[in-house]
Amino acid sequence: MSTFIHPTAEVSPQAQLSENVKVWHGVQIREGAQIGDNCILGKNVYIDSNVKIGKNCKIQNNVSIFHGVTIEDGVFVGPHVCFCNDKHPRAINADGSLKSDADWEVSQVLVKKGAALGANSTILPGVTIGAWATIGAGSVVTKDVAAKTTVIGNPARKL
């Protein structure tokens, strides 16, 4: 088997794709991103710079994975999941000037091995999702989720 990149996908030459990766329609993978063996990236997935995705992951359609996110092996990310990386997002400073990279501090997100994130869930900055945890569809994860725990709702709470 070999890596497949759909003709409509945009993959930076500085991204690292391992063996047998499938990149479908409209996917964008930015510089420094690392995608592990056997991953499937569905239609319109956005992988920001320096994102790390482990082996055997399934990233469904329309997922946004921003800078600062690390996804370990065997993770399922349902359609329309959004990872956030800024605890204090603003377009401008108090004086009205446009914010720049110097005004921004990335907050890391870690999704551990075997976790499953349901459709339309939102993962806020600074969160760790434990190994084999399950995030219910539509949940808003505002704090760490323990391994082998299921959370649902807004804010996400243990089921």
Active site residues: 88
d(CA 46, CA 66): 8
Q: Which amino acid is at 134?
A: T
Phi and psi dihedrals of 52, rounded to 5? -120, 125
Nearest to 45 by CA among 70, 17, 64: 64
